């Protein structure tokens, strides 16, 4: 890269400008523009030093370089002071002085620039390809600057300047292509010389326009521009042959597919510009030339004879076109002879013959078989494709220019077909013709999607996609004709809706709200409660046994939260075991509910976690629920961590198998859960369907029949209720349900499966893939809603977050999805899961619908000797397993999956849920090579989740080739991520679970247009080494964690780019400012869209402190800041704050005196591990508070008694606080029974003791 003295000054100016060291931003911008023009003059001067006026020129150059060197030294010194924090004055005087001198240079140079530009360049003195590109960039920046000027001259010449910019950009890109692909071309020096000469002339005219901005010079400049535009045209056959010769001499690889397409299209446009005005013939010629030129550059490798034959025919056509263009180059429209149309028609016919021959000799690569495509939500398939195609046309215009015309045609045609699908949605299953047409439209859409994705990946030569998409366009045109015929036959008026609805109607009936009140099993609950709170003092196991769907987990959850049970035990924890579990995960899950999980604990070995859990439970009366036990394996793994202090501790199992409980404790008396009675069944059904209302009298008898038909299985009742609640309450419909449930005599499990099928049948089409997606996830595992929504979005199942949340709540209200946890702020869903039976149904139905596939250890084989030999020699084993499915969920170890030699060219989603994560550590030495091979075999991935596999010490290098990726999750001892991550231009979510230390990110991540969510669990630092000093590009990131920041210009550079951030988790590091004599934190007030902020502080605190927070905050969490309570005034200024969490000594001081301060909108307040003794507050300070949580505030004497007067207060939780604080909470409850109070550990010991 050539670096001039101007570049140094520009870099320092931009750096200091970002640090706000100038008051006159307009003058700084003006100076930068003038410097950029001066920089171009310096570039041009390198080729003119030997001209007749060389001495005069050299004198100018010496003066310019002297002034710029001095300015550079002054600005560099100021920049160093800014970095060190010692620069406090403004620098506008430096700008004024330098601007005056630069403008004087411009006048001195004047029109001599034009005269110097007329000197011919010697080929031996021409710039190299790389340098020439940099020169072009400088001139193009000048043209952009010029178009921003407001003078009359520029406005009158704007059209010509824009045309000049287009031509210059083409020449620049062609130079890049030539330099990369055709370095051996014999006339490359002559070519570069002619290109540089054209750029010099453009630079000179641009400089003249900058100097003379009045209309007086219009005639002269206009004439020069017109002359230059003609000269840049390919006006002679020699010039055209030179361009074609370079294209033919190019040596390309498949990864250059975009470059080839762009260069070919732009060259053909450049060439045919002479044949104005454009008409249908010119357009046909254009499309044909693009195809055969691409074939000329990248012919098939296996067809040498046929390829040579086509190449010679192509050469002849191109030469004929070149001659035609050369002949018409200097002709006006009136001078063009009448035989032009016939000549064009002849060339078009020849191109059609070449196109046919190309299609014959190249073996047709088979498209995805129809059985591969998912068959659910056909309209959703079309919607998703249209969204992707529109996004592609908007964001990747340069990359897809080769197929842009055909893509636009596809978009228009599929919008027409989508309108047909919308209009016939209700009748799609009623007419055989409609069923066929719906399936055919969805199948063709999927096939086109595969072809376009293959083009983006670069699997085949670029001309192949031109042919393949042309075929698809023809097929869709045929479908359109069939649709019109269908509409004519059925008198159907098709209304074409150009814009897609992004928010489909969820239901014809208002969504019900699920009431948390439980029904049934009152006697069962009391029997088990007695076993938990009474009986012997030794550690005991209480087991609930019953078939799937009977309500074991629901009953266990009711008992777990029963106040008398909660008060009885000092420690409680809940964990779900399921069929596949990780001992380490179970230990961390239990510990997280008992103690604070520090980074040190999270990093411990499994055997050390055993000891931590044992010590944490020692001498405590604990209650541990182990839900969904399939075997005694988990009990055998964990039982040593549960001490028996003979204090009445209990372990509860829920299991389908009685023998599991007996194997764990032979004298155990498992509680066999009964079925619901008819009365309980009807009570549950009525409550689920009608909520607080009563069932209409005319439906009661039918309702009771439906409830009885569910055979006492609560899950069946809930599922049927989900259907009834979402449909009209009509007698005829309820009779159909009765008939459906009573039509055959089957057992409870078969009946439940039938009801599941009925529930799925009555799901709206758009909800079906969202529901089936739960089958891709581990059974029994809670999933965070934010992760689920991001996965749905990456898979194309939803178009935005709001729609996704609506879909999820619809599934919840239909009783298909269970809410596990809710958010503190608005009680929205935080985590969810599906019942095991529903999960089994999702897996089976998803396989049937070609939606997804599971792979377990039993499905993969151990490698034999031939495999090992192939791996040793670097070859793939001959028996590669190819997966023709859209989604793969792997529940096998990485080694077993790798040994299967998997391949999935059509797989879009690959998620690993290894049964034994720790085993991955043994194979790190060879992991990178194996995973690279996997990436090569799964090129079309849009979702890749390796979050449970240790990928080793480095970021997997080959992952950057998966350009379609939208969701990427990794786990390992990754220390840095390379700048090439920016190649993943589709990526929306990046998650890295670092296992060691901080992770360094390149600043190119902030430039990734599609990236919305960046989450790294360890500290994140940005490397700004490669960033441009003046880079102020705005990042599209919406959520980010865990960003490490300290006060200073580097932090400000990052923060100012996060303009769209909504949710941020960050670590602030100590930063003391000697000049300000205070402790400063990074300034965040500019983040005007930030709603949720979590801040952790590392370092010592010296007062006073400066904290700047955005007024948009709705949720704030502070930890370890050790601020004085007086600093609460900063937080009180946040007008929209609804949730405040002060954790781990966020504030220091024994007294918090609130006075008249008000948190006007605060709904949730949590104080955790604070050394607070006296809290002087009243109900007026928190007029909207709904929930108060106090945890480990062991010195707090009491909760202000006036909190009972807060009209909105619903709940107070006190955990591990002083007895007096706990008692003050119970006193508030006694005065205000509507306020729910939870105390842990209990204040009063159980009477059983």
Q: Give counts: helices (H), strands (E), the chain.
A: 42, 34
Hey, which bits of 975-1129 come out as E strands? 989-994, 999-1002, 1013-1023, 1039-1045, 1063-1069, 1072-1073, 1078-1083, 1092-1098, 1105-1108, 1115-1119, 1123-1124
**The pLDDT value given to residue 333:** 55
Query: Tokens 């590392």 belong to which residue?
Result: 1098
In the predicted model, is pLDDT for residue 919 greater than 60? no
48: CB partners within 8 A, 6+ apart: 54, 57, 116, 119
Centroid of chain to Cα 572 = 37
In the predicted model, is pLDDT for residue 868 greater than 50? no
Query: Coil, strand or helix: which one is 251?
Result: coil
In the predicted model, is pLDDT for residue 340 greater than 90? no
**The pLDDT value given to residue 876:** 47
**The pLDDT value given to residue 1029:** 47
**The pLDDT value given to residue 228:** 62
**The pLDDT value given to residue 508:** 39
CA distance 825 to 832: 17
User: pLDDT tens, 33-71?
Assistant: 888 888 888 877 765 555 545 556 677 778 888 888 888
When pLDDT is cut at 50, 70 and 90, the band that residue 1246 belongs to is very low
Q: What is the mean pLDDT of the chain?
A: 81
User: pLDDT tens, 1011-1061?
Assistant: 999 999 888 888 876 555 445 678 999 999 999 887 777 788 889 899 999
Tokens of 303: 């067809």
**The pLDDT value given to residue 1095:** 93
When pLDDT is cut at 50, 70 and 90, the band that residue 254 belongs to is low
CA 668 to each of CA 531, 654, 661, 839: distance values in angstroms, whole numbers, following the listed order: 11, 13, 7, 30
List the Cα angle 410/411/417 in 5-degree steps: 85
DSSP 775: G
CA 549 to each of CA 74, 671, 710, 812, 837: distance values in angstroms, whole numbers, following the listed order: 77, 16, 11, 17, 7
Q: How many residues does the chain have?
A: 1249
DSSP 976: B
In the predicted model, what is the mean pLDDT of residues 1211-1235? 93
**The pLDDT value given to residue 322:** 73
- Looking at the DSSP assignment, which residues form a beta bridge with residue 889? 854, 911
**The pLDDT value given to residue 366:** 43
- For strands 818-822 and 829-833, give the pairing: antiparallel
User: pLDDT tens, 563-577?
Assistant: 889 889 988 999 988
In the predicted model, what is the mean pLDDT of residues 508-531? 68
Q: How far apart are the first and last CA of the chain?
A: 82
**Are the CB atoms for 742 and 705 separated by under 8 Å?**
yes
CA 965 to each of CA 795, 969, 1236: distance values in angstroms, whole numbers, following the listed order: 10, 11, 47
Say yes or no: domain 522-672 is CATH 3.40.50.300: yes
pTM for the model stands at 0.81
List the Cα angle 447/451/452 in 5-degree steps: 115
**Are the CB atoms for 1045 and 1014 separated by under 8 Å?**
no
Name which of 85-94, 95-104, 876-885 the model is least confident about. Answer: 876-885
Tokens of 944: 């890749």
The H or E element spanning position 910 is strand 909-912
CATH number for the domain formed by residue range(s) 852-989: 3.80.10
**The pLDDT value given to residue 1111:** 94
When pLDDT is cut at 50, 70 and 90, the band that residue 1232 belongs to is very high
In the predicted model, is pLDDT for residue 345 greater than 90? no
CA distance 18 to 30: 16
**The pLDDT value given to residue 516:** 47
**Are the CB atoms for 990 and 962 separated by under 8 Å?**
no
303: CB partners within 8 A, 6+ apart: 361, 362
CA distance 50 to 57: 10
**The pLDDT value given to residue 922:** 44
DSSP 766: G
855: CB partners within 8 A, 6+ apart: 888, 889, 890, 891, 892, 897
**The pLDDT value given to residue 96:** 87
In the predicted model, what is the mean pLDDT of residues 484-513? 54
Q: 884 or 808: whose pLDDT is higher?
A: 808
Omega before 277 within 30 of 0, i.e. cis: yes
CA distance 725 to 512: 7
In the predicted model, is pLDDT for residue 622 greater than 60? yes
**Are the CB atoms for 690 and 684 separated by under 8 Å?**
no
- For strands 1039-1045 and 1078-1083, give the pairing: unpaired
In the predicted model, what is the mean pLDDT of residues 159-176? 81
CA distance 16 to 12: 6
CA 8 to each of CA 14, 68, 101, 820: distance values in angstroms, whole numbers, following the listed order: 10, 9, 17, 58
CB atoms within 10 A of CB 729: 16
DSSP 120: P
CA distance 5 to 70: 10
Tokens of 1170: 């604070």
**The pLDDT value given to residue 55:** 57
Query: Coil, strand or helix: which one is 369?
Result: coil
Domain residue extents for the chain:
1-109, 121-232, 370-489, 522-672, 678-786+795-850, 852-989
CA 288 to each of CA 293, 354, 467, 1109: distance values in angstroms, whole numbers, following the listed order: 9, 9, 11, 59
């Amino acid at each position: 890269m050539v670096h001039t003295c101007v570049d140094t000054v520009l870099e320092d100016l931009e750096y200091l400008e970002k640090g706000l060291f100038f008051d006159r931003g307009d003058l700084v911008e003006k100076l930068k523009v003038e410097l950029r023009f001066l920089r171009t003059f310096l570039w041009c001067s390198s080729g003119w030093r030997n001209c007749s006026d060389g001495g005069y020129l050299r004198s100018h150059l010496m003066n310019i370089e002297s002034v710029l060197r001095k300015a550079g030294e002054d600005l560099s010194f100021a920049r160093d002071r800014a970095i060190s924090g010692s620069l406090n004055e403004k620098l506008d005087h430096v700008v004024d002085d330098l601007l005056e001198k630069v403008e004087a240079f411009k006048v001195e140079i004047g029109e001599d620039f034009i005269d110097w530009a007329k000197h011919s360049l010697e080929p031996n003195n021409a710039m190299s390809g790389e340098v020439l590109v940099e020169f072009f960039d400088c001139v193009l920046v000048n043209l952009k600057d010029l178009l921003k000027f407001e003078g009359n001259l520029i406005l009158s010449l704007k059209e010509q300047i824009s045309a000049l910019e287009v031509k210059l950009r083409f020449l620049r890109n062609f130079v890049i292509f030539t330099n990369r692909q055709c370095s051996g071309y014999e006339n490359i020096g002559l070519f570069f010389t002619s290109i540089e000469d054209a750029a010099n002339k453009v630079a000179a005219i641009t400089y003249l326009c900058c100097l003379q901005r009045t209309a007086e010079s219009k005639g002269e400049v206009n004439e020069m521009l017109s002359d230059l535009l003609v000269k840049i045209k390919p006006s002679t056959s020699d010039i055209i042959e030179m361009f074609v010769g370079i294209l033919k001499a190019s040596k390309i690889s498949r990864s250059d597919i975009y470059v080839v397409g762009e260069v070919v299209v732009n060259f053909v446009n450049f060439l045919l510009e002479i044949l104005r005005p454009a008409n249908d013939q010119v357009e046909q010629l254009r499309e044909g030339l693009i195809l055969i030129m691409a074939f000329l550059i990248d012919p098939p490798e296996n067809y040498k004879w046929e390829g040579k034959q086509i190449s010679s025919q192509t050469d002849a056509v191109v030469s004929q076109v070149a001659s035609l263009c050369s002949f018409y180059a200097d002709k006006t429209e009136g001078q063009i002879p009448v035989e032009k149309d016939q000549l064009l028609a002849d060339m078009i016919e020849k191109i059609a013959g070449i196109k046919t021959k190309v299609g014959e000799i190249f073996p047709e690569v088979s498209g995805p078989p129809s059985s591969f495509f998912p068959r659910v939500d056909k309209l959703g398939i079309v919607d998703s494709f249209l969204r992707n195609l529109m996004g592609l046309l908007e964001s990747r215009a340069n990359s897809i220019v080769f197929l842009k015309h055909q893509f636009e045609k596809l978009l228009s045609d599929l919008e027409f077909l989508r309108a047909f699908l919308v209009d016939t949605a209700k009748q799609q299953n009623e007419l055989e013709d409609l069923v066929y047409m719906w399936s055919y439209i969805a199948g063709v859409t999927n096939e086109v999607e595969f072809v376009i994705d293959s083009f983006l990946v670069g699997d085949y030569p670029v001309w192949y996609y031109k042919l393949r998409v042309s075929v698809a366009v023809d097929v869709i045109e045929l479908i359109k004709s069939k649709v019109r015929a269908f509409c004519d036959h059925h008198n159907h008026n098709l209304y074409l809706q150009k814009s897609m609805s992004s928010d489909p109607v969820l239901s014809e009936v208002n969504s019900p709200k699920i009431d948390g009140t439980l029904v049934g099993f009152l006697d069962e609950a009391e029997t088990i409660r007695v076993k938990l709170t009474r009986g012997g003092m030794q550690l005991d196991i209480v087991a609930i046994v019953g078939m799937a769907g009977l309500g074991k987990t629901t009953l266990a959850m009711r008992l777990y939260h029963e106040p008398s049970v909660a008060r009885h035990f000092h420690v409680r924890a809940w964990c779900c075991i399921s069929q596949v579990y990780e001992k380490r995960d179970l230990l961390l899950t239990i510990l997280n509910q008992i103690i604070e999980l520090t980074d040190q604990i999270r990093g411990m070995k499994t055997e050390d976690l055993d000891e931590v859990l044992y010590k944490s439970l020692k001498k405590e009366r604990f209650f541990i629920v182990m839900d969904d036990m399939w075997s005694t394996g988990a009990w055998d793994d964990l039982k040593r961590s549960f001490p028996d202090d003979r204090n009445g501790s209990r372990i509860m199992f829920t299991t389908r198998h009685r023998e599991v409980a007996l194997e764990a404790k032979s004298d155990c008396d498992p509680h066999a859960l009964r079925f619901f009675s008819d009365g309980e069944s009807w009570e549950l059904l009525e409550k689920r369907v009608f909520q607080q209302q009563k069932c209409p009298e005319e439906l009661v008898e039918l309702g009771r029949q439906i409830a009885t038909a569910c055979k006492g299985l609560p899950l069946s009742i809930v599922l049927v209720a989900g259907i009834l609640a979402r449909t009209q309450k009509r007698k005829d419909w309820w009779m159909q349900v009765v008939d459906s449930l009573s039509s055959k005599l089957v057992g409870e499990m078969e009946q439940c499966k039938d009801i599941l099928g009925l529930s799925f049948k009555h799901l709206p089409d758009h909800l079906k893939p969202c529901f089936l997606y739960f089958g891709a996830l581990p059974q029994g595992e809670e999933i965070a809603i934010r992760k689920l929504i991001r996965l749905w979005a990456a898979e194309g199942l939803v178009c935005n977050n709001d729609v996704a949340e609506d879909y999820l709540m619809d599934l919840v209200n239909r009783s298909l999805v269970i809410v596990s946890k809710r958010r503190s702020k608005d009680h929205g869903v935080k985590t969810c899961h599906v019942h095991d039976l529903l999960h089994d149904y999702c897996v089976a139905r998803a396989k049937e619908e070609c939606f997804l596939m599971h792979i377990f250890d039993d499905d993969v084989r151990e490698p034999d000797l031939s495999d090992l030999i192939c791996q040793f020699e670097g070859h793939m084993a001959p028996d590669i397993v190819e997966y023709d499915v859209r989604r793969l969920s792997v529940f096998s170890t990485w080694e077993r999956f790798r040994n299967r030699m998997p391949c999935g060219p059509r797989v879009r989603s690959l998620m690993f849920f290894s049964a034994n994560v720790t085993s991955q550590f043994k194979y790190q030495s060879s992991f990178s090579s194996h995973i690279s091979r996997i990436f090569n075999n799964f090129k079309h991935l849009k979702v890749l989740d390796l979050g449970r596999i240790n990928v080793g010490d480095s970021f997997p290098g080959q992952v950057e080739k998966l350009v379609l990726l939208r969701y990427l999750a990794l786990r390992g001892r990754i220390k840095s991520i390379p700048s090439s991550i920016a190649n993943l231009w589709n990526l929306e979510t990046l998650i890295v679970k670092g296992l060691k230390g901080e992770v360094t990110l390149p600043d190119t991540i902030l430039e990734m247009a599609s990236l919305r969510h960046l989450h790294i669990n360890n500290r994140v630092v940005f490397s700004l080494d490669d960033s441009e000093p003046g880079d102020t590009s705005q990042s599209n990131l919406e959520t980010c964690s865990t960003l490490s920041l300290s006060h200073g210009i580097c932090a400000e550079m990052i923060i100012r780019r996060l303009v769209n951030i909504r949710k941020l988790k960050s670590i602030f590091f100590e930063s003391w400012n000697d000049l300000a004599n205070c402790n400063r934190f990074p300034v965040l007030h500019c983040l005007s869209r930030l709603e949720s902020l979590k801040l952790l502080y590392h370092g010592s605190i010296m007062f006073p402190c400066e904290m700047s927070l955005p007024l948009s905050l709705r949720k704030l969490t502070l930890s370890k800041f050790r601020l004085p309570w007086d600093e609460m005034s900063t937080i009180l200024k946040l007008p929209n704050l609804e949730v405040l969490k002060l954790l781990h000594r966020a504030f220091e001081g024994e007294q918090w005196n609130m006075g008249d301060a008000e948190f006007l909108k605060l709904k949730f307040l949590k104080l955790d591990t604070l050394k607070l003794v006296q809290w002087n507050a009243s109900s007026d300070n928190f007029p909207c508070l709904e929930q108060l949580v106090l945890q480990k505030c062991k010195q707090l004497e009491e909760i202000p008694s006036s909190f009972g007067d807060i009209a909105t207060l619903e709940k107070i939780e006190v955990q591990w606080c002083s007895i007096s604080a706990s008692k003050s909470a119970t006193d508030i409850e006694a005065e205000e029974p509507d306020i729910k109070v939870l105390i842990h550990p209990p204040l009063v010991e159980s009477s059983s003791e």
